[in-house]
Structure 1
């Protein structure tokens, strides 16, 4: 490590530009490419293998928590062991100067958040094509006992595909910093989450045990947004949004975007069920059903039980009338 590595400042102090050109754990920082509340991602050069990588530096307070450090090490190893074409490969994870870091493949492209902001709603065909790649990645992670818990457009990278039949190649990223890791350390609690609340499953909000079906719900929120141009629920504040995920039925996609087959509404309703038991068992099962529905074929799913009466499937009865602060927001 060079002479700057021993400075008291540390990798997270000062302005981001101060890290450009600095060497950290065998990587030379070149530019910042992403930032969140608990981590910063840089494009960096691997000085040992002379390759470009994405280097994520986690906030220093996380490294000072022994529970998080243990969880981070375990989940990073699991993520690195997953060899899948739609999961960003993890090259290395470790600690240097009191900061945890993850080195991953650098993907030249943009994330789905930027794509949607620039191009607006996508066609059903494109949404399903992106969704099936994300679903495949999630199911592979579930097979390794890893639940992502933070599926959102910002964690889906869209790179150039191989040919006209595969115009985009999608990667799922950010397995190394899960909500489970943070909740075990006290950095999060019920009602406080890392990242946006637009895609969080009801059981995550209530603090119940989660499995891969919480990723089914989050993926369904992302797929809905890809086609509608907005997430299923929009509210004025976080508490109202949490209420909506737990109790409100999402607007039918066909009401937001005319021309969508009714069968697509039924598939999304099932994937967005409040109870995990009422959702698809896997992400691929959800997106496969969506593709069939989009072609106008019969899905056999019908209307979700309780959709007409307002009952929550698997719930204790009628949904309570939302208080004024939890009512929907309608914006043009």
Structure 2
């Protein structure tokens, strides 16, 4: 976890453009949480406001209607009115036909009701007998009529002794509208009360006319929410029975006829056009074929409710609303507000967050583009430095080799003038992981002082961003090239080489470090300071600390790491369990290669090669060569190649001691080595520091399960 956090920190430190992206993500999470909280609060508050406003409007309407009904009830029980009504409804005395209009009793009832009509602003009256015939009315055209459909249910209830409201309907006779014009179809509303005789029996129903476009509508329009809020009433046919505040807009969108005599009362049915007519859209279905709005359907079914999620109203516009049904008066009342206005603060908040997202996104893009431009300029500068053959204080001469990660040049220090091998990261392959491996290789190699380990002189980074380190220049040949060019080596020379390798590894193992990539390409053979066949172990880039406490400073495993041709079984099966004995397995495999000229196992497939290392017993070198090999040497090599680490030599020094006890250990003398170097040094050997990046086959390094060329 610590390592992951460290790498994440390095990445965030280098990749500045990622911070605005992180900010966008964090802001998105915060924005979503804030928006959800604000939306939830707004919905709860909006529902409360709608229901409160509806309750106030309904209470005011009920109070007014109850007051009006009490006036009608009191008038129906007035002694003089009752006396006149009883005479008018007396079948024996009741006139018929035209005589009914001219009846003195009819005129007398008008006089008796006139004070009440004037005082309480009633527009007229009707008197129904028990057969629901109009026996008296303020409008002579209605006298004598039977079975007015608009009154049937209310007169029936009145005859049963109930005081009722007859919701607004279109007048069937000529009546003055609110502008004083005489016409039919004017909205009228009646309050009905029973008239009783002396024995308390209902003999007639008195109905007083109320103009619904006056107090009735005004009460519903007293309170509202916002600019688009309104409260209206509707009947059981889902027809609006109060006037809308927005009649001009209803005429603009085609819901009302565009003339001065048409009003929304009784002319607007609460049906969902299924398109937003306020946006200029036109419904495909006729009004009568359209479904009722969700609110109207719920209210007519007798339910009260509130909807703050939004639904399409009679205009098709998204609306929030609260509603209730008043069974006593057979009316529904709804208060509503446009969804856009109701959630305008939420939309402002949403657009604010979107603006911040856009700014942060633009910042991320700008920083990313800037980073790319800077990276390209840096790479250009790096390549220019390479072309100039100058790396800090080092002057570069010829290229010695290249690998999967680095390039090696021969050069010299500007002041010391000492030949130096300078290894640098490939410009085109520089990344966080390669820099980390490169730095780790230098740091670990610097801890090692054994003469058979390559020495590091310097490490740094140029102003152009080129990472490099300088090490001793080795004018020799690696073991891979040695065998490729000169074939299998003598037993004495193999023992000499392996003993020196063991010396280098023993120091590393003593410090708790495992090389993990011992192979012929990582072992150089040199003639230095008059000493021929001096071995130098290279490439500690994959080194691993055995001590868990030092893992944070060195390489971590967790994946297949090493070169398949020289990889121990535990490195294949349990990479994290590799210890010093894994390096000794590789030393045995290198010795086998030097002695026979061929690897221990060969295959066209990496998978098959790994399987052989894990399961297959190696062929003894004597059988591979077809001739005898010193038993002690063969036994030492096969001991190193044991599948079980516990059966191998346990330390590099133990292996070195075992090799020195071989009968042929001292056959390769200094004189023979000098002779060999004298014969082949002129034009034959090349300063070779690159492993085998240009070779085919499986002489490659696997890091974390991926095959890469060696360094």
- TM-score interval for Structure 1 and Structure 2 normalised by the shorter chain: 0.7 to 0.9
Q: Using CA pairs below 8 Å that are at least 6 residues apart, which structure has the higher relative contact order?
A: 1
Is the aligned partner of 1:26 residue 2:393?
yes
Deviation of residue 100 (structure 1)?
A: 2.7
Residue 241 of structure 1, aligned match among 609, 617, 628: 609
Equivalent residue in structure 2 for 1:282, among 648, 651, 656: 651
User: What does 1:246-261 align with in structure 2 at a 5 Å threshold?
Assistant: 246-257=614-625, 258-261=627-630
Query: Against the structure 1 CA distance between its residues 267 and 104, is the aligned structure 2 distance closer, same or farther, given a 3 Å change threshold?
Result: same
| Number of the residue aligned with 2:238 | none
Q: Please say if residues 492 and 664 of structure 2, whose CA atoms lie closer than 8 Å, have aligned partners that are also in contact.
A: no
Note the residue ranges of structure 2 that are not aligned, 5 or more in a row.
1-376, 546-550, 666-711
Residues 1:225 and 2:604 aligned together: no
Deviations 1:213-251 (A, max 9, x none): 111111111111100111111111211111111111111
The alignment covers a number of residue pairs equal to 280
For residues 70-104 of structure 1, what are the alpha-carbon distances to aligned partners after superposition, in whole Å with 9 as ceiling and x for unaligned?
56545523321322211111112233334432210
The 1:187–1:134 alpha-carbon spacing in structure 2 relative to 1, beyond 3 Å, is: closer
| Alignment correspondent of 1:81 | 447
Mapped partners of 1:22, 1:272: distance in 2:
45
- Taking structure 2 as the reference length, the TM-score comes to 0.36
If the length of structure 1 is used for normalisation, what is the TM-score? 0.74
Q: 1:58 and 2:425 equivalent? A: yes
2:172 is the alignment partner of 1:172 = no
Structure 2 equivalent of residue 93 of structure 1:
459
CA 1:126–1:21: 2 relative to 1, 3 Å:
farther
Given that residues 267 and 293 in structure 1 are in contact (C-alpha distance below 8 angstroms), is that contact kept between their aligned partners in structure 2? no
Q: CA deviation at 1:170?
A: 1.2
| Contact persistence 2:518–2:586 (CA under 8 A) | yes
Change (3 A) 1:189 1:211: closer
The 5 A counterparts of 1:1-332 are: 8-9=379-380, 11=382, 19=386, 21-59=388-426, 64-65=431-432, 69=435, 72-96=438-462, 97-160=464-527, 167-175=532-540, 177-178=541-542, 190-191=559-560, 193=561, 196-206=563-573, 207-257=575-625, 258-295=627-664
1:263 deviation in Å? 3.4
- Name the structure 1 match of 2:100: none
Question: What root-mean-square deviation, in Å, do the aligned CA atoms of Structure 1 and Structure 2 show?
Answer: 3.1
Give the equivalent residue in structure 1 for 2:673. Answer: none
Measured against aligned partners, the alpha-carbon deviations of 1:102-132 in whole angstroms (never above 9, x if no partner) come to 2100011111221111110011101001111
User: 1:228–1:44: structure 2 CA closer, same or farther, 3 Å change rule?
Assistant: same
Question: Relative to 1, partners in 2 of residues 1:205 and 1:101: Cα closer, same or farther, differing over 3 Å?
Answer: farther
Q: 1:71 to 1:115 in 2, by over 3 A?
A: closer
Partners of 1:108 and 1:168 lie apart in 2 by 11
Judging changes above 3 Å, is the alpha-carbon distance between structure 1 residues 178 and 240 closer, same or farther for their aligned structure 2 residues? Answer: same
In structure 2, do the counterparts of structure 1 residues 81 and 208 end up closer, same or farther at CA, with 3 Å as the change threshold?
A: closer
Q: Contact conserved, 2:425 with 2:438, CA < 8 A, in 1?
A: no
Flag the 1:20–1:198 CA change in 2: closer, same or farther, 3 A.
Answer: farther
SS in 2 for 1:242: helix
8 Å CA contact 2:491–2:664 kept in 1: the answer is no
CA shift for structure 1 position 10: 5.3
Distance in structure 2 (CA, Å) of the matches to 1:10 and 1:218 = 41
Contact 1:203 1:214 in 2 (8 A): yes
- Separation in 2 of the partners of 1:132 and 1:63? 36
For residue 250 of structure 1, give the secondary structure of its aligned residue in structure 2.
coil
Larger Rg: 2
After TM superposition, give the deviation of residue 19 of structure 1 in Å.
Answer: 3.4
The question of whether the paired residues in 1 share the 8 Å contact of 2:544 and 2:556 is answered with no
Q: Which has the higher helix share?
A: 2
Alignment CA distance shift 1:63-1:145 (3 Å): farther
Farther-moved stretch of structure 1 (79-88 vs 68-77): 68-77
Partner of 1:325: none
Post-superposition offset of 1:143: 1.7
